[in-house]
Each structure stands twice: as structure tokens, then as C-alpha cells.
Amino acid sequence: MKRKIKKIIGCLVISVITCLISVLPAYAYYSDTEASESKMVSGSLKINIKDSLDFSPQLNPDVFSTRTVELEKAGTIDFVYTVSVENTSGDLCSNLNLKDDTTNILQSLASFTTDKIDFSVKPSEVFSAELVSDAAEWQSKSCDFELVFKASQKGLASGGFTDTKRISAKIESGKWIINSGDIVINELMWMGSYMDPNDEWIELRNTTSFDIDISGFQLSKIVIGGAGGGGKDEVLMLEIPAGSIIPANGFFVISKLDKASSKINVDPNLVDLNLELSNNNLQIKLYKADWTNSDNLIDTADEASGQPAAGDTHPAAGYQGIFYHFSMERNDIPGDGSLDANWHTCLEFNNTRIYWDNGDIFDYGTPGAPNLSDELDSLLQSFIDDEQRILSEGKYEPDLLTEPGEENVSYFEQGPIPTFSAPLPEEIVTEEEPLIEEIVQESGPQEPQEPVEEIIQEPAPEEPKIEEPVILETLEENNNEASLEQPAPAENQPPIEESIEPLPNSDNGTTDQNNIETNEI
């Protein structure tokens, strides 16, 4: 009996020990169940990375390239994370330093890593890259790499749940040694717009395949009769502010007026009241730094002497008429901007309308976009001739007055639309109002007469019509008399018989008998 009891007790002890051993692994390894204050806790750790723009802008010695990366908590467990760089490739990688906005300490990009960062305190990181050397050999280079985010369970020195996310990144260097021709003065609205001579703008063009920082660039102009007396003096016109960048093969518009005040339908990159483009002796120069140092000269527009062969001092191209205003555009191959041959006048209408306010048909140009016109100004003279002809005929009405949403008004007071050698836009229309003439019968002593009927003369080529009830019955050819059958007289009133004389017109002349329909008996 005692042996049986011992066996039972022994089995119970073995069972208890076996159960305890089966529970112990839950405290040594993490799967989906964890221990916290002697309680069993279920949870998961998962991180996501929101979409973000890559590093920008392109690096140069004075400009960092930055990127912001934001994390998301997709699980239930709080976490901390670290960031490191892996899998670098590209010539530029060895010439880059990188820092984050938590430690704000520059490290070599290839070996970059951070300490643990608490997600609950800082769910995003801002990274900044800069050049180690600004030598010319590091221009127009790139570096590809991965940013690796490793998350681990918060509150544990080691072990626990983990999650890892990788994102691709790229850093590019731009051009910081700017040579002549890399940026050109591409277009000038030196005359202003129709009815607003202050509506001037100038467009710069980046001819390279890399972004170019033009912060601190300066534009000069020529003034007549300055400090040197009656001569031509170069003076500083304006300086381009910090943070101004022209994208690769892009444009940069500097305007005297903002979009709301100007007739252009684009937002200028820079609005500066100091912009002033002369209508005579025009010359604008672009410098990459101090304009008093000729080594900084990048480009020149015009030569400040106009077109001597034409006997004037107007700019090399462009046109200012009474209503036509055409910009001065650089040729596709820029060449020397001081030569007239490298400029032409914008004469393209249809494809330039998107750059101008609704209803504006007199201003031509392409602010902030590629030039569209033929580089030959062969059509310009036809516009000039037609404008002068319209003015000489007194058919010019000087106000646009077309508000958005309203119908276009006629730009000519009367008469047919002039035929332009270079056709005007379809918006210019005229309409003739019907002409109304009154024919009044006259005779000797006035008797009671029927009400005067009106003859409405339709616009040519239709023949004038005489409305009922007037009916011409007879017309005597051998004498100048005709009998006219009158409507039945009123009761107790004798019929009226009159001798019909030729009807006078409203100008006391004789009505043309050929303009009256007759029924011969």
C-alpha cells in the first residue's frame, strides 16, 4: 500500500516538473506573446515609411541637399529606431557628408548611422547632405544609396520584436562654376504691355541639363546722361535673392508687376520694382556676382545702340505699336547677345495665348516657356503697315475692355474688318446695325393721311423691301404722275385722290425709283 502511495506521489511530482519546464520558454523567447509584470501580453511591432520626395535641390558648395522621412506605427508595440546608410554607389558618394536633425552631427555618408531615436518623441527625420570638396571635378555627379530604418521594442536593452524598412535615395551635385552661355537673357518685354508701359518683364534661361543656383546674380542696365554727363553709363539694376534656382533647361521670369497686376497669365519667379527696361539704347548684362568685376559677366542683351542701319536707337528686336506689343526673343542658338542677329521678334499668336490674360490679343510673348516664333522677322512689316492703315482710316478703337466671361467687343468703330497681311485673331469682329429710312409722302394742301409706313433696308446685298399695306398700282411713263390705290376710306369720308410726285428721301433728295418694287398694269 505504501509503495502505491509513493508511486502516485512520484508521478504527481514528475507531472508538475514537466509542466513547469514547458512554461519556461515563454520567458526566454519572443514570438507573439510577451511577459510584462507577470502578465501575458500579445502585440506586434511594425513600422511603415510614408512616401517622401528624394534629396533636393542639387548640391553646390553653398547649398545643402535635404530630405524628410516620416515613419508610421503600424503595430501595437512602442518602439525606438536607428538609421544607417548601406549599398552606396556613384562617384559623388565619397565626397559627401550627411547629418540628421536629431544629432545634427556631420558624418561621412558611406558610414552614416544614428543612435536610438524614440518614435513617440520624434516620428520623422530630416537629413542634410553637403560636399566635402567644392573642386570643379565634383560638378554634375551623383550618389545612389539606401537609408535603412531598424525599429526595436521600446524598454528592452536587447531582444524583443524588431522590424526593418529600406528606402532608396539619390543625391546629385549641380554646377557652381558658371560659364558664359550657361545662363542667357532669353526674352524681354521692354515696351510693357498694351496700355501699360510698366508691365515689363525679363526671362532668363538655363541652357544646361543641371539646376543652377543664381542666388546673388546681378543685372545691370544702361542709363543715358548719368554721372558721366551725356554719355551712356552702366548701373546696377537689381540683385537676385538667395534661394533662387533655375531648373535644368528651365526659365526664370523677373517682372516689375505681379501676376494680378500684369497682363501675363503666369506667376513670375521674382517681382522687383527696380526692373526697368529702356525703349531706347537698351542693354542688360547678367553677372554671377559683383557686377563691377567683368570676370563675373555671364551674358549680355543688346548693345545700347539700337539698329543704326535702320536709323533708330530701338532695341534689336521686339515691337511697340499703338496696340501691338511684341516681345524680343533670343534665337534658339543664343550666340552673342550683344548682336542684333541673335534676336528676333515674337510674332506667334495662337500658341502664346495661354501666357496672357483672357481676352488679351495685342500682347505677344512666352514668359516662362520656350520661344515659339520663327527667327525671321519677315512678317513684322505687315503688322506695322496694317496698324498704320487702320489708324489712318480712323477705324481704331483704343480700348480692349473685354472682361473675363463677357463677349468680345468690336475693336473698330465702323466699316468692314481690315484685311491683314498677317491675319488678326478671330476675336476681332464687327456687326452692322440695320438701317431704317422713313418715306414721307408730300403733296399740296395736306389732307388726312394714312400713318407713315417705315421701309426697313436690310444690309447689303439684299434689296430694300416696302412693307404692306402700301401697294403701287400704276406708273405712267409719259408723264410724272402715278395713281395710288388707297385703302377704303373711313365711313362718311370721301375718297382721297392725289397726284403722286417722286418721293423725297430723308436728305431732301429724290428717292431712287430703282429701289422701289412696282407692279406694272
Q: How confident is residue 388, by pLDDT bands cut at 50, 70 and 90? A: confident
Q: How many residues does the chain have?
A: 521
Of the listed ranges 176-185, 302-311, 374-383, 496-505, the least confidently predicted one is: 496-505
- 198 and 53 in one domain? no
Domain membership flag for residue 222: yes
Task: Point out the domain boundary residue: 344, 360, 377.
Answer: 377
Whole-number pLDDT of residue 382: 82
pLDDT of residue 23: 44
Instruction: Identify whether 506 is part of a domain.
Output: yes
Residue 75, pLDDT score: 93
Judge whether residue 357 has pLDDT over 70: yes
Domain boundary, last residue among 148, 172, 196 = 172
Domain that holds residue 443: 435-521
- Asked whether the beta carbons of 249 and 207 are under 8 A apart, the reply is yes
Residues 167 and 205 in one domain: no
- 145 and 223 co-located in one domain: no
Same domain for 140 and 239?
no
CA-based radius of gyration for the chain: 44
Question: Best-predicted range by mean pLDDT among 81-95, 293-307, 437-451, 466-480?
Answer: 81-95
**Beta carbons of 464 and 457 less than 8 angstroms apart:** yes
CA atoms within 13 A on the CB side of 454: 7
- pLDDT per position as a tens digit, 201-223: 999 999 998 889 899 999 999 99
Q: Are 270 and 237 in contact (CB under 8 A)?
A: no
> What is residue 408's predicted lDDT score, i.e. its pLDDT?
37
**pLDDT at 466 (0 to 100):** 45
pLDDT band at 379 (very low <50, low <70, confident <90, very high): confident
* Cα–Cα distance, 80 to 155 (Å, whole number): 9
Give the distance, in angstroms, between the CA of residue 196 and the centroid of all CA atoms in the same chain: 20
The upper half-sphere exposure of residue 284, i.e. CA atoms within 13 Å in the direction of its Cβ, equals: 28
Q: How far is CA 94 from the centre of its chain?
A: 40
> Which residues 6+ apart lie within 8 Å of 460 measured at CB?
none
| Grid cell 517681382 in the structure block, residue | 271
Most confident residue range from 378-387, 429-438, 492-501: 378-387
What's phi and psi for 60, nearest 5 deg? -145, 175
pLDDT band at 468 (very low <50, low <70, confident <90, very high): very low
Domain total of the chain:
4
* d(C-alpha 3, C-alpha 154), whole Å: 55
Tens-digit pLDDT profile for residues 227-275:
555 678 999 999 999 989 999 999 999 999 999 999 999 999 999 999 9
Q: What is the mean pLDDT of residues 358-365?
A: 92
Same domain membership, residue 270 and residue 223: yes
For 156-177, letters b (16+ CB in 10 Å) and e give eeeeebebebeeebebbbbbbe
Q: Which of 377, 402, 427 is the last residue of a domain?
A: 377
Residue 205 shares a structural domain with residue 319: yes
CB 475 within 8 A of CB 482: yes
Q: Which of 413, 427, 264, 430 is nearest to 359 (CA)?
A: 427
DSSP line for 13-46: HHHHHHHHHHHTHHHH--SSEEEETTEEEE----
Confidence of residue 175 (pLDDT cuts 50, 70, 90): confident
Residue 164: beta bridge partners?
A: 150
Residue 331 corresponds to which cell in the numbers above?
Answer: 534665337
pLDDT (tens digit, 9 = 90+) per residue, 33-56? 333 333 445 689 999 999 889 999
Whole-number pLDDT of residue 375: 87
Contacts of 109 (CB under 8 A, 6+ apart): 85, 88, 93, 96, 97, 98, 129, 143, 145, 171
Residue 28 has pLDDT above 50, yes or no: no
